[in-house]
A and B are shown apart, each in its own frame.
Chain A
Amino acid sequence: MEIVFENVTYKENTRTPLERTYLKDVSFSLNENKVYAFLGDSKSGKEKLASLINATSLPSKGYIQIGDYFNDGRHIKKVNNLRMNIGYVKMNPLDFEINKLVKDELAFGLKYFKYKLKKEEIRSKEALKLVGLPEEILNRRVYNLTIRERKLLSIASSLIFNPNIIILEEVTAFLLEKDKENIKRLIRIMKEKYGKMVILITKDTDFAYEVSDEIYLVSDGKVEKCEKEVLLDASILNRYNLNTPRIVDFITEANKKNANLTYTPNILDLIKEVYRNV
């Protein structure tokens, strides 16, 4: 499924004292089943990309093409056929959840996208297992879960209807290290085994460096496509108010002391590299 942004401008509260432009004349296209990372500082406008792809917001100018659908401010016929192909996970799970019980929260998408409800419980259990939550929480109240569990639940609720595009907004927030590892594994499976497109919207350069295939830097409503090597350049990242990945910092420091390590995206490759060269 191809996503094309064509001269998209997005404003809120137009012609009022609170008018704000989030995206300015943005054009890019995502057309392969890869992991795309949109990196940018808070309020750079990157979070608005997700709501425009999901057609929950309308562009002020330009259009967004998602497969056969166009989000150009006009009425979209059978919008649910578009949205069932997009799983959108928000940063804060409290902004995402609607239902009282965990099982209702998981089944919400299935119910309204008109999936066969006979398999509802099996799919709910599978979705929970996928994100590393126990089946026992199915009958618990969402309100009584910890913030980490709620975050994982929001990921499960978006994956349960098997979307082709998965948008993860600050996916590592509120999660433990073991959850992050699980999410990385999940993203790899989604991309490699099931051929899905994953869009990461994040400030977490460590996570993006490890899992992403293409990098887009977002600042002041402008989106710029970059090579992955941009994550090795502290001066560029500082301009966007981003940190260099810790693993890059480590290798750069080690190379200053003649360690001669090549830049690797994950810790296991780095260990191998250290064994080989040091």
Chain B
Amino acid sequence: MYSYFTSYYPVKSNIHKLNPVVKLICLLILTLLTFITSSIKLEVLMLFVTTYLCFSSNVPLKYYFNTLYGLRYIFILLIVLLAARGLYLENALIILIKIVSMMLYLDMIFYTTSSSEIKYGIEKVLTPFNIFNFNISPFINKLVNVIVFFPLLFSTEREVLVNSSSRGLDYTYADIISRFFVIVTSFKNTLRLTIEKMKKQKLSSYLRGYSTSKYRTNLRTNKVGFLDIVLLVVHISFIAYFIFERSIL
């Protein structure tokens, strides 16, 4: 059953068809702007575009809401901390919008981009740094492994919980304290099984000649199309708006 965060959601949509390199560049632009801007107008604009992208992705909105719902305690804690520091409502609102916007965008990227496309995208975005003798390839591998690790961890945890349930360590019908105990008990095994699976994946990638330093022509990815250009233009216009606002100030 599909239900875990950071997994690819296999449906057809215009967002799924976008080129992974363009998606990653847009994510970089959005992340950068989220960190440096303090304009509520720009934040709301970015949140609006992000919400539109989520809506067009054909991924049920409940999955996006689930992620935000999972962060509810962090939101509450943040509000309390901000109130304690005597921050104005507008500033607190900006910080909340920033977090929501980033989480939705990351969700949208993970739900609409398969792990091999993410790998491809990261390679394409970062390999130019190799020419400066930065030896970026091992870093790319590590980054990709970290990204691939979490969906695998969640799916393995699910398997472990079902198997533990059938052999006496129940999760399905347990109360919240027992569930916590079950997760803690099974986490060591989940982690070990995930690492074993990662090792197998690494070995099979190696056996099939995978290398980040090679240019791979056989990987099927979506070509840059009209929608990619539109998305890129929208994100560049955010930068333009940011510069324009700064120059006025």
Contacts and interface: CB of A to CB of B under 8 A. Distances in A.
B183 interface: no
Contacts of B193: 98
A51 to B, nearest CB: 8
Interface in A79-137: 79-80, 83-84, 86, 88, 90, 95-100, 108-109, 111-114
A72 B15 CA distance: 39
Given A17-B60, A76-B173, 11 more contacts: A12-B2, A18-B10, A55-B173, A75-B173, A79-B170, A84-B168, A90-B163, A99-B189, A109-B168, A112-B168, A158-B167
A277 interface: no
Contact of A88 (B166, B186, B196): B166
Interface string A7-30: 000001101111000000000000
Interface string A202-229: 0000000000000000000000000000
A84 B167 CA distance: 7
Interface string B156-168: 0001101111111
Interface in B170-217: 170, 172-173, 186, 189, 192-193, 196
B145 interface: no
B166 A83 contact: yes
Interface of B: 1-2, 9-11, 58, 60, 62, 159-160, 162-170, 172-173, 186, 189, 192-193, 196
Given A12-B1, A13-B2, A17-B58, A98 B168 contact: no
A194 interface: no
Contacts of A95: 159, 163
A112 B1 CA distance: 26
Interface centre among A17, A100, A114 (most CB of B within 10 A): A17
Nearest 6 interchain pairs by C-beta: A112-B168, A109-B167, A113-B168, A16-B60, A17-B11, A112-B169
A100 B188 CA distance: 10
Nearest to B63: A16
Interface in A216-258: none
B198 to A, nearest CB: 13
Interface string A37-56: 00000000000000100111
A229 to B, nearest CB: 34
B172 A55 contact: yes
B163 A96 contact: yes
A143 B193 CA distance: 9
